[in-house]
Amino acid sequence: MSMVCLNLLQNISLNCFQCYLKNVNWDLRIVSTANFLVHFARNFYDVLRSITGFKGGYGATALNMKRDPLHVKIKGEEFPLTLGRDVSGVVMECGLDVRYFKPGDEVWAAVPPWKQGTLSEFVVVSGNEVSHKPRSLTHTQAASLPYVALTAWSAINKVGGLNDRNCTGKRVLILGASGGVGTFAIQVMKAWDAHVTAVCSQDASELVRKLGADDVIDYKSGNVEAQLKSSKPFDFILDNVGGSTETWALKFLKKWSGATYVTLVTPFLLNMDRLGIADGMLQTGVTVGSKTLKHFWQGVHYRWAFFMASGPCLDDIAELVEAGKIQPVIEKTFPFSKVPEAFLKVERGHARGKTVINVV
């Protein structure tokens, strides 16, 4: 397998932000890791990375199983954990199996959740997770997109089956439209000529309209369900909110026309943590299976979607960026020394785009 890694079989020292578990509290600190021996085939120097929301313990059992499938580690043993998923930077060295990248290439990527994160001076990335950065974007802008873009792409394209050839005129409802995934989803849906209704708070309405939303509903001004009753039914609903949302939102899909409801908020990882690997997977399978079957007989499709790291998908997204169809939405940028403050901001929620960490 082709890999992007720290330094080819060398001992190096690097700075990274790692999360430690102290009793029941989190401790986020900058660490200088000395004599870090790397056994991969490729090198990547990380310039900027953006962060995503983080909640301690979420999915720990599943992530340990992925990292070490022959020996599921005891609770808490996954720490210290390097956080962050997105990255934009410059390739330093290439392994023998790498064909599409060379030293000096500017690239972007999002790493899977079972790997150590990107809040570090050097990042290990597989060759199939990397894509050439759009030339029209700075590294700061590029670092804000990969994770949310790939998450939305998974829901819309891979799970929802929508693309630039079948979206014209389709009615799309985006719940939780002002966050990172929502702002990207609005733009890609408009790039594919869909009609977009966005649900967000009043103070985010100007932002989502600028991104192309045709109709905007303020969830704070009253009952969203009541406001949607005057709308025509939808061909596709993207749920970034979760909770009880699906109990009322599914009724607004077109019946018996192939309409699809995709949610990005699932109990998959929580089931793993609560019940363990085997029982958690069984419970998850039963839940999604029963919901899928129930809604199928009601004339609509019900699906779960998850982030998927993919260099080829980032290539497609880069084309939309270069064509001017997608623009990054950055709420705030923090220096590397202010990572704890950045996480506190993200933890408070109500995002208006992405929060970016500038390492250089």
| pLDDT score at 295 | 62
Contacts of 18 (CB under 8 A, 6+ apart): 28, 29, 31, 79, 80, 81, 82, 83
| pLDDT score at 75 | 47
| pLDDT score at 102 | 86
C-alpha dist (Å) from residue 317 to 77, 148, 211, 225, 312: 36, 11, 16, 33, 9
- Helix residue ranges per DSSP H, the chain: 60-67, 139-143, 146-153, 180-191, 205-210, 224-228, 245-249, 268-275, 277-296, 311-322, 339-348
| pLDDT score at 64 | 53
What are the domain boundaries of the chain? 3-145+329-358, 148-304
Domain 3-145+329-358 has CATH 3.90.180.10: yes
Residue 117's identity, in one-letter code, is G
Cis before 80 (ω within 30): yes
| pLDDT score at 36 | 37
For 308, list phi and psi in degrees, rounded to 5. -135, 120
| pLDDT score at 6 | 31
| pLDDT score at 359 | 73
Contact 208, 186 (CB under 8 A): yes
User: Tens-of-pLDDT digits for all 360 residues of the chain?
Assistant: 455 443 333 344 456 656 655 444 555 555 555 333 333 333 343 334 344 333 333 344 444 544 444 444 444 455 677 778 888 988 887 777 778 888 889 999 999 887 878 887 777 788 889 999 999 999 999 999 999 999 999 999 999 999 999 999 999 999 999 989 999 999 999 999 999 999 999 999 999 999 999 999 998 887 888 889 889 999 999 999 988 898 899 999 999 999 999 999 875 656 555 656 666 666 666 666 666 666 667 788 999 899 999 999 999 999 999 999 999 998 888 887 788 788 788 777 776 778 888 876
C-alpha dist (Å) from residue 297 to 40, 256, 285, 292: 49, 9, 18, 9
- Under CATH, which architecture does the 148-304 domain have? 3-Layer(aba) Sandwich (3.40)
